[in-house]
Structure 1
């Protein structure tokens, strides 16, 4: 279907998506409610008129006619880490039937038959691969943890066991055959966690508060290459740690101690209890783990009046700042934390919410060290943070603000990274994220581009502040960092469709950003040449009424190339590697690769890389009509197979695929199915999933996949 403008120029229509049983065409109502507080049901917080990334995509679409093409891309699937010219190439048509690599061979050079779309309540892998669960919700993390049962929970049990849901997975080596695995616990779901009528509202609130945070878990190598297991003897797991609402975090950077961060419990504005809604993350070159506080806004509520005093030098009120972050009186709040802990009540503690929305740094090697919240990296709905080292030796962190219409950011440290393997060097490196320069991205389309590069352009990083100087008129350094969204609005960057994980490819040094979707495309942004993904119609079943659909529901993967390969550079070029969705739909694009050869993919969320530089994409929110659970996909970014999307695994019903991490010489693939069975109508007593099938209720878990012997 095409929609025609008054001047008769065609616009692209979105692949039809059924709303049956799902919220906004992809996620279930339960996921929307507990994961992000139904963000898509509320007005987009960014009400500025700044340019949108869709504008640049639309310009490229309007000027070129290669959407249906299958032109060969510009790079290669590098087999076994060899160069593109020396690598053994497998023709695309033969990929699915090519023999697998030798037993125990690295994932980067393995050939596999892509997993077909399915709705199984299981982890599904290609033939020749296996997996197992490392740790589940409720498994003990620290010594003294009592036996877990959802029928007889106590706060003490929750504090010491593996929290609910599991997003980012970071692994750092501890010994020859041991490692430390750090995992985020993103959010709780009262519908799936507790038997009906078993607990009071207050009990569920306190269980939920302590189910958030992070876990550090000792793991050990298994007999099968690539396999890893949890160290169950907790006396041998001295690094294990359960970071929860009792854990004190230290604020760092220029905003630490500012009056906007002071509360009745912490007059210093420097010590914060707990961390909330931790989504993706990153493992730093110095061996610490970063974690992004994402949808923190949903936990704060009020029974009274939201304060409205002037706080910003620009004259904006505190109520204005709340609105820009999606913080409001939420009549449908299912958790009710503010009724039992006053720090979640905006009327009682108007500044407490400013102490969340940061990037957190944890040192898994030092279980007694207080984790840090880095104000220098800005405050917004952080998906995560990925650190690389620039040519000048400075640490560079890439960051995404996971909201419809919000921005991509970059931080460059003031001090240089010390590559020596000494305690002094590590102490120094752990200060790098406290001082430097914070930037926001502006993307511009390239009207003179060649036809073989249909979505591309240039961009610049706009300075917001250093640790000593603000570049935003009317805002101090501390205000820029506490109210980063408002600061960015004032410099007119490019609005993006939910920028989530942003990672640096260790091989080609390019940056890859998952732009998950924007379900309001076509309503918040009317269909025109600047917004090509537009309204279409579909039926949920034969004979059913026509249901209008709108929005960018399948997402993109953005590829950024820093000028001269320097991550400290202020300018870059960009292209869209993927326009996701059903390959049979005209709006999809796979870097020019033959669309008849690729797997269907929707809603890219987290990304990682193997040693050959292949991109691995996990998804969150695959629409029902695509007939598939979410999963993990491998995509070469170079050579004749650039853009060749292949499904490596799918996760159980109702789950999203989190993690992921390729580790141990490409032999191990960590991934984390979270919220299995989170489907409309599902409850603890009548679950839509019982994965991992160790109980009669679902348990979010972390897994590892590897080659069979």
Structure 2
């Protein structure tokens, strides 16, 4: 990580989570040709894509997980009931903004503690290994099996939502992604091949998603999860998924086990996502490239798939993860999609929506236009890759709580138009010098356009069929001259204003020789700290033009080597913040940002921050919490009407080993105490709830 961080960014995290992306050459080598150059290049691109082949592939290694189809989950709500987005699925009541707090001080990167403001307390809702279906499935780190892990909460939870059930406000469904695993912490070292294969099968079952039923005593009270509830569910690398949209049935996704090209087993590296107005959850398959051994094709290189053995070794126990095995060439094409899971219908197979394109999805956030068309905003989390939007062909049935409307609404993401963003600044080029100095007009801002790639199953990119443009979306976006961004991760519309916010986490390669220079929407070279962009659509989600400005240039204002910007708010009055990752909003429309990477940039543990967006304090950043050492803050959920905040704590103690753990979160043993015989002391990624302590109520 030398040259990419200033402090202690874990090399283990980079190796396991994103396949050492920052230590490799960014896969976007294009110069982004203009529209005049596209026609001349169409033939050569067609020849390139033809190398993908058709071929069938892969044997299935698993089946859908145990747990059964719960009869109790069949009805979502009695017909005729009505409710809207804010009040239906978010548990909101219009909101009193009951989250007043004094910002905490930054927490040193070596502190192994979960830190909250005075007057608040925290506890876990669920941890890695907690049983979902039967209390007999007790977590025992030394004796984990694939069968047990398939029935337990997974590892390294990322996206999170707490969906309060509208007709039973003392109940909710927790939905969480499980992005990746860390075998160094999870298992002791072994030279036994059979045991190593068992470990890898456990890791397969620790990936994916969990749906967990919650209960509470009253509004604002802490939540508890229930074992054996019919809603509880696990989706893993061996779960059956259905392909939808234009690529379903294409030769580009057909396999030996799936000659129809319509069924995929598994989901991988699920990162951020979103909850739809009709109560389903979208999950982005992000760094899927790190699980596959490639053949060395140009298409694989553009997606970061190498010919080397993977860090997970899944290819050693399942031939579908090695494209060099005959018939397995296409398996990677079946990953990198937006997944839709219906937590209220556990018997339904989750769906991978190919109309939304294939890339390293960080987000899938919904906004409904005035016409009823649904927009999905998505970031491709890679240096110099792009920001996307999908707009549905059909309109949403607004009676989202009526069971009769759900089949229609759950089809909205199967057909529509996929766009990629191009940004233009309005300042003289000489004023964008790579330092982050604000231009003379007082803001980083400009206009932009959404360039269509595929509309209703028809490609709008010369030289690409619709199937090619969706399977190789990065190549299609390259061809139309999209703007290269600094790792666009989470993208979230503000439910109060409709403005859209983009977290660009960082890009240390910006401005290097042969790489894209600074521009007004990415104004810093060697951008370690990241920034947040605010977009205003000129119409609504159906429009093709927008205006934009930069809300934050992140960093530590006290660092003389870093130029920061907080929309004009005094820098000396903000909490230092770096590497913005996930975004959320409270009932008043304030932005909340969770971070990923602060130990490596400003030397503090990652945390959750509130940002004021309106009025004289626009740009004010206040830190609400900090996670333990080597951990990342993920999936923030803000229920300020209940005075509650929820976060996923991912990869605590990432640098540890089985015998030398560096964190004991969340099951700390009191100083001087001795663990009980047989107790395993090590970190467990967890869902944490923060709420007012008795003194603060």
Query: If the TM-score is normalised by the length of the shorter chain, which range does it land in?
Result: 0.7 to 0.9
What are the residue-to-residue correspondences of 1:358-369 with 2, within 5 Å?
358-369=337-348
Specify whether residues 337 and 114 from structure 1 end up closer, same or farther in structure 2 by C-alpha distance, changes over 3 A only: same
Counterpart contact for 1:226–1:707, Cα < 8 Å: no
What CA distance in whole angstroms lies between the structure 1 residues aligned with 2:340 and 2:480?
28
2:186 is the counterpart of 1:193 = yes
TM-score (norm 2): 0.83
Return the match for 1:509 from 498, 505, 517. Answer: 498
Return the match for 1:298 from 290, 307, 319. Answer: 290
What CA distance in whole angstroms lies between the structure 2 residues aligned with 1:240 and 1:436?
32
2:628 is the counterpart of 1:637 = no
What CA distance in whole angstroms lies between the structure 2 residues aligned with 1:635 and 1:23?
25
2:108 is the counterpart of 1:118 = yes
Match of 1:555? 530
Match of 1:431? 411
What CA distance in whole angstroms lies between the structure 2 residues aligned with 1:664 and 1:532?
34
Match of 2:373? 394
Give deviations 1:585-620, integer Å, cap 9, x for gaps.
Answer: 451101110001001000000000001000000000
Match of 1:543? none
What CA distance in whole angstroms lies between the structure 1 residues aligned with 2:513 and 2:279?
42
What are the residue-to-residue correspondences of 1:237-252 with 2, within 5 Å?
237-252=229-244
Aligned-pair CA distance for 1:254: 0.6
Aligned-pair CA distance for 1:369: 0.4
Counterpart contact for 1:222–1:229, Cα < 8 Å: no
Match of 1:10? none
Aligned-pair CA distance for 1:115: 3.4
What CA distance in whole angstroms lies between the structure 2 residues aligned with 1:458 and 1:271?
41
Counterpart contact for 1:374–1:434, Cα < 8 Å: yes
Match of 1:314? none
Counterpart contact for 2:169–2:219, Cα < 8 Å: no
Aligned-pair CA distance for 1:228: 1.3
Aligned-pair CA distance for 1:139: 0.3
Give deviations 1:353-410, integer Å, cap 9, x for gaps.
Answer: 0000000000000110000000000000000200110111100000000000000000
What CA distance in whole angstroms lies between the structure 1 residues aligned with 2:527 and 2:534?
18
Match of 2:597? 621
Specify whether residues 699 and 528 from structure 1 end up closer, same or farther in structure 2 by C-alpha distance, changes over 3 A only: closer
Match of 1:703? 688
Specify whether residues 450 and 698 from structure 1 end up closer, same or farther in structure 2 by C-alpha distance, changes over 3 A only: closer
Aligned-pair CA distance for 1:23: 6.3
Return the match for 1:598 from 565, 571, 574. Answer: 574
What CA distance in whole angstroms lies between the structure 2 residues aligned with 1:455 and 1:386?
25
Aligned-pair CA distance for 1:201: 2.5
Aligned-pair CA distance for 1:26: 5.4
What CA distance in whole angstroms lies between the structure 2 residues aligned with 1:143 and 1:408?
42
Q: Which runs of 5+ in 2 are unaligned?
A: 35-94, 429-437, 669-679
CA RMSD of the aligned region, Å?
2.2
2:447 is the counterpart of 1:458 = yes
Specify whether residues 459 and 528 from structure 1 end up closer, same or farther in structure 2 by C-alpha distance, changes over 3 A only: closer
Which shows bigger deviation, 658-667 or 350-359? 658-667
Q: Secondary structure at the match of 1:569?
A: coil
Q: Which runs of 5+ in 1 are unaligned?
A: 1-17, 53-104, 308-318, 535-550
Q: Secondary structure at the match of 1:395?
A: strand
Give deviations 1:293-351, integer Å, cap 9, x for gaps.
Answer: 0000110115xxx27xxxxxxxxxxx1111110011124x2221111101101112011
2:408 is the counterpart of 1:405 = no
Aligned-pair CA distance for 1:222: 4.4
What are the residue-to-residue correspondences of 1:3-18 with 2, within 5 Å?
none
What CA distance in whole angstroms lies between the structure 2 residues aligned with 1:450 and 1:486?
33
Specify whether residues 558 and 43 from structure 1 end up closer, same or farther in structure 2 by C-alpha distance, changes over 3 A only: same
Match of 2:69? none
Number of positions where the alignment pairs a residue of Structure 1 with one of Structure 2: 602
Q: Secondary structure at the match of 2:22?
A: helix
2:4 is the counterpart of 1:39 = no
Counterpart contact for 1:145–1:161, Cα < 8 Å: no
TM-score (norm 1): 0.82
Q: Secondary structure at the match of 1:191?
A: helix
What CA distance in whole angstroms lies between the structure 2 residues aligned with 1:106 and 1:167?
28
Specify whether residues 122 and 223 from structure 1 end up closer, same or farther in structure 2 by C-alpha distance, changes over 3 A only: farther
